[in-house]
Amino acid sequence: NAGVMQNPRHLVRRRGQEARLRCSPMKGHSHVYWYRQLPEEGLKFMVYLQKENIIDESGMPKERFSAEFPKEGPSILRIQQVVRGDSAAYFCASSSNVGTYEQYFGPGTRLTVT
């Protein structure tokens, strides 16, 4: 049973470009969470999605960031017009829909903005 997959693992973007981070949850999981870890800081919750719905985006910056989890395909975290402060590790996690509180994390995407 494959775990949570994220790609790319490393992404370099110049200031002003767009970054698209992909997350494929574990098989059978319909809950997806995105977290961000800035250098030398802890993990911060960004957004929680179920299929085709954003449930909680209280941790998302108000501008430039968006997330989706379509009916088919991976969840996407999109960052428009990236700035140097967006450089961080972005982790995706998934959980099943049977009330478990265990979240399974992917290996992360390390975004570097030059």
Which residues contact other proteins (rule: CB under 8 A)? 4, 31, 33, 35, 42-45, 48, 50, 53, 55-56, 91, 93, 95, 97-99, 101-108
Q: Which is nearer to other proteins, 14 or 58 (CB)?
A: 58
**Rounded to an integer, what is the distance from CA 74 to the centroid of its chain?**
10
* Distance in Å, CB of 16 to other proteins, minimum: 28
Question: From start to end of 1-85, where are the E strands?
Answer: 5-7, 10-13, 19-24, 31-37, 43-50, 53-56, 65-68, 75-79
**Gap between the Cα atoms of 87 and 83, Å rounded:** 8
Q: Cβ closer to other proteins: 72 or 101?
A: 101
The distance of closest approach from Cβ of residue 25 to other proteins in the complex, given in angstroms and rounded to an integer, is 13
**Shortest Å, Cβ 45 to other proteins:** 5
